[in-house]
Structure 1
Amino acid sequence: MIKTILFDFGDVFLTLDKSATGKHLKENGISELDAELVNINKAYEKGLISTDEFSRHYTNRFEGFTTETFKTAWNSILIEFPKHRLEFLKKLKAAKNFKLILLSNTNELHIDWVKENIPVYEEFRLCFDEFYLSHEIHYRKPDASIFEFVLNENDLNPKETLFVDDTLEHTLTAKKLGIHTWHLQAGQEEVIELFSKKSDLF
């Protein structure tokens, strides 16, 4: 029996356009991220470097970027928070049948944008018993360490835990640790379909 549900944030609740940042980067001469930039992005997502340091890596290397144009490009992935997803979550919280935990790979720039542009963010956050953002806890998916951290911090039994994420690689790691998973197909499935899609677990 499932007692705890771990939810991802982006493309589970918050709608993303994952191609948008790449388009902005190409407009500024970045056709693909080299190994250095990939590692910088990961470090920023883990909160290991500051937002100023992160921005400078791009503005110093690519002439087309000012700090503001880079931040606009970086945040262009973030779109909207559909109301029906929040209503689903609020009903889930009110029922008190599960411990609810958010587990998201994110960063300070993205969360600052969400706080400024998504009016329901605080209401959303308060629906969760625990709220883990990668840049605050210094772990990121798909590393096993982030799941082990959450399991240990909350004394969870993997067999009684369900993880919902739109990225296959993340769900595969969780599955290896014995956690039940739903690889949600963004654009084809909705988090509000949870109990029909995973009816075998409830």
Structure 2
Amino acid sequence: MIRNVIFDFGAVLFEWNPNKIVTSFTNSEFEQQQLLENVLRHDDWLSLDRGTMLMAEVIPKFAARINFPESRMEDFFDHVQNQLAVIELSHQLLENLLALGYPLYYLTNMSNAFFDTLSERHAFIGDFKGGVVSASEFMIKPEPAIFELLLSRYNLQPEECLFIDDNADNVISARQLGIEAVQFTADKSCIQQIMSKL
């Protein structure tokens, strides 16, 4: 029986669309490609998520790598955070689960700075009983250790948890630990699939 629901944040509760992020920042196709390949999809971005590099460290590195002034790279990082809009379908799901009495947790690959920004902007994050932010723990999904940390920290039984994530590797990793998991897509059929698991 499912007793707890665990949410990923990016592309589940909040929009995460790298192509949209770069095209809404600059009209230059060259710059868009640079920002995609050498910032958002670069290994240093994973270091940000893992917490092994801080925003103050990566911004100058990214700026130098793609020949941007640091101030413009700072503007891009602000833009990225402003693009993390709430996915209304998921927010409604969250509200429904709370109304049904399910304890909610989060498990997200994210820098602490981004998480702090989201927490300041969205009061509903306070409705979660707890969770794990990758950068605080120096580990990221789909590594099994980060799932195990969440389970042990909140004394959760894997077979009593439903995990919602858009990334197939993360879903597979959760299932291998005995956690029920659904790969998220922002449509009503996925919401129905989630509710059918409860």
Corresponding residue number in structure 2 for 1:81: 86
Of residues 44, 51, 70, the one that matches 2:55 is: 51
Aligned CA-pair RMSD: 2.9
Q: Contact 2:12/2:87 (CA < 8 Å) preserved in 1?
A: no
Q: Is the alpha carbon distance of 1:94 and 1:109 closer, same or farther for their aligned partners in structure 2, counting shifts above 3 Å? A: same
CA, structure 1 residues 149+26, in 2 after alignment: closer, same or farther (shift >3 Å)? farther
CA distance in 1, matches of 2:149, 2:161: 14
Aligned to 2:37: 32
Partner of 2:139: 139
Among all aligned residue pairs of Structure 1 and Structure 2, give the percentage whose two residues are the same amino acid: 22
Distance 2:54 2:197 in 1: 41
Q: 1:49 to 1:79 in 2, by over 3 A?
A: closer
Q: Alpha-carbon deviation of 1:181?
A: 0.6
Letter in 2 for 1:90: E
- Counterpart-to-counterpart distance in 1, 2:119 and 2:156: 30
- Three-state SS of the structure 1 residue aligned to 2:128 is coil
CA distance in 1, matches of 2:89, 2:184: 16
Q: Deviations 1:101-158 (Å, cap 9, x if unpaired)?
A: 0111111453355356x4xx1x211110003221223221111111111111122221
Deviations 1:152-174 (A, max 9, x none): 11222211111001111111111
| Compared CA separation, residues 90 and 76, structure 1 to 2 (3 A) | same
Counterpart residue identity of residue 169, structure 2: E
So what's the TM-score if we normalise by structure 1?
0.78
Three-state SS of the structure 2 residue aligned to 1:11 is coil
Q: Which moved more, 1:37-46 or 1:99-108?
A: 37-46
Matched residue count: 190
> What is the SS of the residue equivalent to 1:198?
helix
Structure 1 residue matching 2:42: 3-state secondary structure = helix
What are the ranges of 5 or more consecutive residues in structure 1 without an aligned counterpart? none
TM-score under structure 2 normalisation?
0.80
- How is 1:10-29 mapped onto 2 (pairs within 5 angstroms)? 10-21=10-21, 26-27=30-31
Q: Deviations over 1:165-190 (max 9, x none)?
A: 1111111111111111100124xx25
Q: Which runs of 5+ in 2 are unaligned?
A: none
